[in-house]
Structure formats: structure tokens, C-alpha cells
Amino acid sequence: MPVSIEGRTWNGCAFLVVGILLSLNARAQNADTIETVTVTAERRQLLGTALTSSQGVVVDDELTLTPAFRVGQMLETVPGLVVTSHSGEGKANQYLLRGFNLDHGTDLAVGVDGMPVNERSHAHGQGYADLNFLVPELAVDERFTKGPYFAEKGDFSSVGSVDLSYRDTINDQAELSVGSQGFERLFSAGSAETSDGVMLGALELQHYDGPWVHADDQRKLNAVLRYSAGDEQDGYSVTGMYYGGVWNATTDQPQRAIGEGLISRFGSLDPSDGGQAQRYSLSGQYHAALGPGELKANAYAIANRLTLWNDFTHFLIDPLNGDQEAQTENRLTLGGGAHYDETDAILGFANDLTAGVETRYDNVHLAHLHTKDRIFLALTDRDRIQESSISGYAQLTTHWTGWLRSVLGVREDYFNAQDGGTNHGHAEQDLFQPKGSLIATLSPDAELYLSAGRGFHSDDVRGVTQAAQHGLSGAPLLARSTGWEAGMREQFLPNLSATLTAFEIQFQSELTYDPDIGQTSAGPPSRRRGIELNTTWQALEWLELYGSIAASNARYTQSTDDGTGHIGRFIPNAPDAVASFAAYIKDLGPWGGGLDYRYLGAYPLSSDDRVRGKGYGEWNAEIGYTLQTGWKLGMGVYNILNTRANAAEFWYIDRLPGEPAGGVADVHVHPLEPVSVRFTIGKAF
């Protein structure tokens, strides 16, 4: 039976995993050493295989060397993606990409080891993608796409998708990290050969307070057990994961409360905000040669529990007790799919055929509770949602000549949802999505791409059924997106490459953040146009430099009131520009490390652009030294220049004691963490 982690005790499964790791280490001492498999493909080696100029691969060593203050920032290796936070560390991150404020994961599909991370009809935000269960040392082979042009990508992938895999083997090791602001982390992992496969186990414990007046006191446990067998042609893996976390949260606070001295810059008007989460999963993956092609199949079962205590509007709704609300959910997700690839000649032309099916089922119990200091006061609403989907897709790449190939794809998704609670009702919808690309190879070192397609994101079922109860059309269950892009990929020198992309994407309904209910809801239609430039330079054998810059113009297609009386077509929190720079030191004798800079441009906070967020820039660095004895020393410095800025800003109405009953519109801020240092010592066995 799990032990409560409220008082810094950990789930009983930790002891099981520790025992497994100890046995693996003991067995490994009597077996041949298992070396870590390193992906050898390079980010720049996609000529002849890519469908667009904005898809790519991030290799193993870049994931390892990228400075990451929080685990979700591993995803910042995707060009133009910024990962930040506007609340406690245990909560899902906030994602920004291509002029989109993707909140906690709307329109950014994230997958880990074959499992979808985004959650449908979530208690806090549609597409909620919490990566706290991810163990960074196990992640390899990050593949990303942008735009609705890929037949195998479905729900939440219209703006982008990121897929990470877990490794099958890892050197036996133990690692301890400590740092400023109360950071502590213990990591241990190992793998050992069995009679016909490999068993891998990993354990991570973490604690973090942060700079907040009321410490986050985040406590996190991750445990992984994985069995794999076979080879690249025929093999399988089965993986079990557990994540548990509890934390306090300093949410975004009204600027006037800081200016008037009610709280400090790192303070909170409601220090009882926070959360607790648990996640269990079991997944399996299988691949094998089948006829002239290859079959891949996967299945997964995920159980999630989450409670978030948030007080965004303070005394606007309940002047006596305050507006804190507990958002709770208990979710079971089941799903899987099969995917087949084949290369064949049709009418004398070489063709690559991809076809697949996917299915997913979510059974989720949701509740909104009015609380004070986390104590129950009243039930706001309760829903029991059963949501299922089935999808089929096919994609044909035809090589017409040595310099011209085309990609034609189709995808069909069918969703069926039933809500048996407060927002009772039924919704179903199917959506056909054509997609296509045309690629011209100008030379062995340069390609041009032109792509167009349709995609979608699913909307919260409660918004669909609630509107139907009142006889309104409301939000569609599946909100269409339509996009196109033109781009170029060029290998200027053997060690220098670049991509340039111009894009446009339109949404039938923009998912927007509603602070009054602390979750996302379906909004008006939108359009974005932009341009993106990425370049990679292997300056020296041991030094790789990478840069990315993206600028976009984001607008609603009709004038919209943002809830504060400001009317216009600007999309709140959609950044004008995002840029990044990274330097990776690889295999410089015993040295390795990374330096990165990320820049988030200014953005509108009100729909008429009269209130704006300032954005910020931040430098981070990590460096490591490995001794021949297997010992490893490391240091990370984050926000090196101690930049004083806000990681997130929002514009909405709240009410403090003594203010008018209608409340006051204000900018609400969550500060960027000040400079911090972390030290690591580890040993490989």
C-alpha cells in the first residue's frame, strides 16, 4: 500500500526499485559491461528524408548536455520552443511555440516511450502535459514536427509534436545533486542482461523549495522498471513507471499587491495553494519485419490522480472566504496502435508507404471544490467523462525523379464522449484531414519544401455539452486547424547547415486561458503568420553551436473582448518573437557541458495590445568532468546574469479586500527564479 508523501515519506515502490537496482548492480559485476547506446544521427542530416523544413531530430548527447533548470526544459532543444512555469514546480509547465501560448500543452502533442502525455478534458487545462514523471537520464532520440502536415500525428499536434523514447540499457550509476534554493536530487540506475533480454531499473528522488516566501517544498519520486529483448529488426519492450509528487505553489500574483507592499515579489496572497499528483503506467512496444516492410505496435495503460489548489481571483466571487478552488481528477487512460512501413515500386516509381491505426479511451472523474486553506467548503461541479477515439491514417511518399518527391497523406479521426455529471450530455464528431508536401532537391546539399494540411485539437467535453444544455452551438468537439508552410534546408558546408521556414496556420477555435475558472476554454477563431530560421555549426570536433529565431504575427479573425473591456484582435500571451542559442562541448577529453540563451519577446496581455508583457532573456550553463575511475563531477548555473524579469504575465480581473465588488483588472506576474547553482557528484560502476 502506498505511503503518504505529504510528510516527506515516499511511496513503498521506492524500496522495491532500490532492491531491484542493487540486484542489477550485483549481477552486472559478474557480467559483461553494458554500454549506453548513443544515437549517432545528427540534427542536420535530414536531407532526402524530411517532409518539411521544420521537422527534426535532437540527438542523445544534446539532450544530455542541454542545461535544464526543470525537466520540461529538455524540450527547449526543439527550435523556437520555450518552456517556463507560472505556478509550483509540480504542475505541468507552460509551453510557447510559433506565436502560440500553448498553456500546459494545448496544440503541442508530447509522447514519451509510445504513450501520449496530453490529457483530454482535464481538470485544469485541455491538453495538460505534465512531464514531471520523465527521468532525463533515460530519454533518448527526441523527434519533433511542426504544423498539421504529418498523417501519423493527431490530437494536439497542429502546432507541434515532440516524441521521446526511453533507452534499453544504461551504465550502472548513482548520482547526488544539491544546490541553492533547497534543491536536492538523488538518482540511481542500472541494467543487466537476462537470458534473452535486458532489465533496466531507475529511481529518482527530488526536493526543491525555490526562492518563494512560502517554499514550494516540492517532493518528487520517480521509479522505472523496463524489460527489453530483440534487436532493431525484431524486438519488444515492456515498461512500468511510477511518479508521485506534492508541492506548494506561488501562482501569478496581482502587480498592485506587490506595489502596495501587501506581498513581496516572491510572496503569495494565498500560501495554501499547491498540489499533489500520482501517475502509474504500464506500456509495451513491439516491432518486427512483416513481408517487405516493418510493423510497429504499442499499447499502454495510465492511471493519473491530481489535485490542484488555486486562488487566482482572491475575493472576487466569495468576499468572505476567498476564491480558492480545488480541481481534482482521477483518470484511467487506455490505448494503443499499429503502424506499418513499406517501400515498393508502383508504376516504375519508388514509393514509401505508411499506414496505421490508433485508439484511446479516457475515463475521468472530475470535480471543482470551493475551498479555504485547502479545507472543503462546497462542491462547485462534478463530472464523469468517458471519451474514446479511433483514428486511421495513410501516407504515400513518391520519388518521381532523383530531385522531386511528393507526400500525400490522409487521416480520419472519430471521437465519442459522454458526460454523466454536472455538464451532462453526449458529443461525437469525425474529421477528415488531407495533408501533402512537395519536395525539390536542388543539389545534394539543398532542398525546398512546400506543405499544406488540416489538423485539429479536441475541446473539453464539458464546454461542448454545457453549451448544448443551453441550446447554444458552443465549441466543436474537434476544432479544425488549417496550415501551410514553405521552407528550405541547406548543408552549406559539411559542418554547417540551416533551415528557413515561412508558415501560416488558422484555427477554427483558439484555446484560451480563463482565470475565473482556472482552466482553458474554447475561444474565437485565430490566424498566425511567421518565419523561422535555425542553424547548426560544428565549429570544432568538440564544439557544436546552434541558433534559432522565430517571429510571428498572431491575431484573432474577429474583434474579441478579453473580459476586462479591452476589445481587439490581438491574442493575449502570444509572443512576437522567440530565440535561442546553444553551445555544446562534446568529448573534450573528460569535459562536457552546455551553454544556452533563451529569449522570449514581448507579447500582448490585452486583446487591444494596450497592456503588454515585457518578455525576457536568460543564460544557463552546465559543465561536467568525468574521471577515469568512473567518478563524475558537475555544476550548473541558471539565470547566470540574475535577470530580474517575469517568467509569466497575465491580464485579468481579481479583487483584494476593500476593493469594489466588480474587482480590478491588473497584470498578474510570476517572477523568473534568480541565479541559482547546483552541484552534482556521481559514480558509474
Confidence check: pLDDT of 516 > 80: no
Task: Name, in order, each residue with C-beta under 8 angstroms of 100's C-beta and a sequence gap of 6 or more.
Answer: 107, 159, 528, 554, 574
Give CA torsion, residues 550, 553, 556, 558, to 10 deg: -170
Judged by DSSP in three states, 38 sits in coil
Sheet with 139-146: strands ordered across: 56-58, 139-146, 160-166, 108-112, 115-116
Q: Where are the beta strands (DSSP E) in 311-445?
A: 325-346, 349-372, 375-399, 404-419, 425-443
Residue 578, in any domain of the structure: no
Tally of domains in the chain? 1
Please state the rounded mean pLDDT for residues 514-541. 84
More confident residue, 232 or 230: 230
Confidence check: pLDDT of 183 > 90: yes
Please state the rounded mean pLDDT for residues 16-36. 38
Q: For residue 467, what pLDDT is reported?
A: 67
Q: Which of 6-15, 198-207, 519-528 has the lowest mean pLDDT?
A: 6-15
Give CA torsion, residues 324, 86, 512, 530, to 10 deg: 170
Dist. CA 555–CA 550, nearest whole Å: 16
**What value does the CA radius of gyration of the chain take, rounded to a whole number of Å?**
25
Q: For all residues of the chain together, what is the average pLDDT?
A: 90
Q: For residue 38, what pLDDT is reported?
A: 34
Residue 259, in any domain of the structure: yes
Query: Phi, psi at residue 684, to the nearest 5°?
Result: -95, 135
Q: What is the DSSP letter of 75?
A: G
Nearest CA to 87 out of 650, 528, 621 is that of 650
Residue with cell 464546454: 463
- Taking residue 131's Cβ as centre, other Cβ atoms within 10 Å add up to 23
pLDDT band for position 198 (50/70/90)? Answer: very high
Confidence check: pLDDT of 256 > 70: yes
Q: For residue 512, what pLDDT is reported?
A: 75
Confidence check: pLDDT of 359 > 80: yes
Of the chain, the percentage scoring pLDDT greater than 90 comes to: 79
Q: For residue 50, what pLDDT is reported?
A: 86
The grid cell for 565 is: 473591456
Please state the rounded mean pLDDT for residues 218-240. 95
pLDDT band for position 243 (50/70/90)? Answer: very high
How many Cα atoms occupy the beta-carbon half-sphere of 414 within 13 Å?
A: 3
Dist. CA 398–CA 621, nearest whole Å: 44
At 418, which CATH number? Answer: 2.40.170.20
Confidence check: pLDDT of 24 > 60: no
How far CA 83 is from CA of 112, 162, 402, in Å, comes to 17, 13, 40
Residue 508, in any domain of the structure: yes
Confidence check: pLDDT of 515 > 60: no
Amino acid identity, position 323: D
pLDDT band for position 300 (50/70/90)? Answer: very high
Confidence check: pLDDT of 521 > 80: no
Dist. CA 538–CA 546, nearest whole Å: 9
The C-alpha angle with vertex 617 and arms to 601 and 520, in degrees rounded to 5, equals: 55
Burial class (CB in 10 A: 0-12, 13-18, 19+), 424: middle
Residue 565, in any domain of the structure: no
Dist. CA 260–CA 474, nearest whole Å: 41
pLDDT band for position 241 (50/70/90)? Answer: very high
Q: What is the DSSP letter of 212?
A: -
Please state the rounded mean pLDDT for residues 420-440. 95
Please state the rounded mean pLDDT for residues 429-447. 96
Query: Phi, psi at residue 451, to the nearest 5°?
Result: -135, 150
Which bin fits 562, alpha (ψ -120 to 50), beta or left (φ > 0)? alpha
pLDDT band for position 40 (50/70/90)? Answer: very low
pLDDT band for position 48 (50/70/90)? Answer: confident
Dist. CA 301–CA 281, nearest whole Å: 6
Please state the rounded mean pLDDT for residues 488-498. 92
pLDDT band for position 79 (50/70/90)? Answer: confident
Q: For residue 49, what pLDDT is reported?
A: 81
Task: Name, in order, each residue with C-beta under 8 angstroms of 637's C-beta and a sequence gap of 6 or more.
Answer: 620, 621, 622, 675, 676, 677
User: Which among 13-27, 177-191, 470-484 has the top mean pLDDT?
Assistant: 177-191
- Condensed to tens digits (0 to 9), the pLDDT of residues 372-400 reads 999 999 999 999 999 999 999 999 999 99
The grid cell for 499 is: 533551415
- Taking residue 567's Cβ as centre, other Cβ atoms within 10 Å add up to 12
Task: Name, in order, each residue with C-beta under 8 angstroms of 660's C-beta and a sequence gap of 6 or more.
Answer: none
Burial class (CB in 10 A: 0-12, 13-18, 19+), 94: buried
Please state the rounded mean pLDDT for residues 401-426. 95
Dist. CA 210–CA 198, nearest whole Å: 38
Q: For residue 510, what pLDDT is reported?
A: 87
The grid cell for 116 is: 501520449
pLDDT band for position 30 (50/70/90)? Answer: very low
Terminal-to-terminal C-alpha distance of the chain: 32
**Pair 427, 89: CB distance under 8 Å:** no
Confidence check: pLDDT of 527 > 80: yes
pLDDT band for position 475 (50/70/90)? Answer: confident
Amino acid identity, position 346: I
Q: For residue 470, what pLDDT is reported?
A: 59
Segments forming the whole domain that contains residue 104: 13-526+652-684
Task: Name, in order, each residue with C-beta under 8 angstroms of 221's C-beta and a sequence gap of 6 or more.
Answer: 5, 10, 11, 14, 203, 204, 205, 206, 242, 243, 244, 245
pTM for the predicted model, two decimal places: 0.91
Confidence check: pLDDT of 100 > 90: no
Please state the rounded mean pLDDT for residues 492-498. 91
Dist. CA 316–CA 655, nearest whole Å: 5
Residue 617, in any domain of the structure: no
Residue 291, in any domain of the structure: yes
Residue 602, in any domain of the structure: no
Burial class (CB in 10 A: 0-12, 13-18, 19+), 380: middle
Residue 560, in any domain of the structure: no
**Pair 162, 109: CB distance under 8 Å:** yes
| Furthest CA-CA distance within the chain | 79
Dist. CA 504–CA 146, nearest whole Å: 11
Q: Is residue 561 within a helix (H) or strand (E), and if so which, with residue range?
A: strand 543-561
Residue with cell 525546398: 448
